[in-house]
Amino acid sequence: MLKRVPAVVTILLTVVFCAVFYYFNNEVCFSHRKIANVAQSTRIFKEENKKYAFFIGVKKCGTTALKTFIGLHSEIHPIYPDPHACDTPFEPFNKRLMEALTKKKYVFVADNRCMLNNEAFERYQRPSKIIVLLCDPVRRAFSDFKHFMKKGYLPPNSSFTNVVQDALNFLKNTSKDAKMWENYMKNIRQVAPFEYSIVSTGIYVMFMQEFYDRYDQQDILILSGEELRNDPGSSLEKLQTFLDVKQAITNEMFFKNRQTGFYCIRLQQYPEVCKLPRKTNESTLSADKESINNLKKFYKKYNKQLFNLTRREFKWL
């Protein structure tokens, strides 16, 4: 029995060695592939004058509408469906990006998840431009709550009042500990209860600070969800100017759909493209006044910090 022990140990050591070798060999291969892909994308950007913009819209602020409208531009190629660039492995997205770069001058990448995980897209070729769409955090919270209910993420008897109160209590307690607060804000989607993100996502300054630390202010465009909803032509004019492309989508092309209340766009080569094909507006604020006031008080401090950082005026600041 004792004589068999060394043989067993030898076999185990061999298995461990092979497993370690396989792991590191794959890691090296992956690293070489990643370096090669980044080098290839860098060459394409420099030699062929290709660009791509990351659209970091905040969930429920009108990201689908903006991507739909700008996607009609002849010089811009939006990646469909959403690439999930900030929560997927490197290679799948990079492959889609390389394919898209062969089609038009500008590639438009939209991903709401990057707002809460802006470190992720540092894995790729540096974007030429960053576009951020912000909206009233109070209305955004209510719209997100309606979305959660519609998708079945919350129990059927959940109320906006209770969710807001529980979230505010959690956030106020968590903010007392700097490390806990930093960890939570960096992992909003992973920390339970998940529904608290309905409120915490509206603390825009916590995420915007990261962008301003990583990029030049001249390469960041902040758009208003309210302006996009009420005057989409102005928003598209600003976006086209920022991207340095021709003003192909103008204010005269937009008209309001009487049934939905949303703006649509009319182009010769496309049928009427509406902002969102819904019959009701989820952003209509019909919550109780106490919850609304509590949210306004909570966001007030962070909204002031947002203005000091961006120097951008919003009606809800």
The beta-strand segments (E) located in the chain are 51-57, 76-78, 106-110, 129-134, 220-224, 254-256, 263-267, 270-274
pLDDT at 38: 45
pLDDT value for 145: 94
Confidence of residue 270 (pLDDT cuts 50, 70, 90): low
Q: Is the dihedral of CA 69, 72, 78, 80 positive or negative?
A: positive
pLDDT at 33: 42
Whole-angstrom distance, CA of residue 223 vs CA of residue 133: 5
Cβ contacts of residue 200 below 8 Å, gap of 6+? 167, 171, 184, 185, 188
Q: Residue 270 has what DSSP assignment?
A: E
pLDDT in tens, 35-52: 444 444 444 444 455 677
- The answer on pLDDT for 133 being more than 90 is yes
Q: For residue range 191-203, what is the model confidence (pLDDT) as tens digits?
A: 668 899 999 999 9
What mean pLDDT value characterizes the chain?
77
Please count the other Cβ atoms lying within 10 Å of the Cβ belonging to residue 33: 13
Look at residue 141 in the predicted model and tell me its pLDDT: 94
Radius of gyration of the chain (CA): 23
Name the band, by pLDDT with cuts 50, 70 and 90, for residue 68. Answer: confident
pLDDT band at 106 (very low <50, low <70, confident <90, very high): confident
Q: pLDDT value at position 91?
A: 61
**pLDDT value at 168 more than 80:** yes
Q: Which residues of 154-188 are buried (b: 16+ CB within 10 A; e: fewer)?
A: beeeeebeebbeebbebbeebeeeeeeeeebbbeb
More confident residue, 19 or 103: 103
pLDDT digits (tens, 9 = 90+) for 206-262: 888 888 888 888 999 999 999 999 999 999 999 999 999 999 999 999 988 887 788
Residue with the larger pLDDT of the pair 21 and 288: 288
d(CA 195, CA 127): 31
pTM: 0.76
CB contact set of 27 (below 8 Å; sequence gap of 6+)? none
Q: Which of 26-40, 75-89, 94-108 has the lowest mean pLDDT?
A: 26-40
pLDDT of residue 95: 72
Q: What does each C-alpha distance from 292 to 141, 142, 198, 285, 287 come to in angstroms? A: 10, 9, 13, 9, 7
Q: How confident is the model at residue 28 (pLDDT cuts 50, 70, 90)?
A: very low
Long-range CB contacts (within 8 A, 24+) of 282-287: 282/60, 282/143, 282/146, 282/147, 283/60, 283/135, 283/139, 283/140, 283/142, 283/143, 283/229, 285/138, 285/139, 285/142, 286/142, 287/142, 287/160, 287/161
Is the confidence at residue 291, as pLDDT, over 90?
yes
Whether the Cβ atoms of residue 236 and residue 243 lie closer than 8 Å to each other? no
Q: Where are the domains of the chain?
A: 1-46, 50-310
CA 26/CA 300 separation, integer angstroms = 50
3-state secondary structure of 37: helix
Architecture of domain 50-310: 3-Layer(aba) Sandwich (3.40)
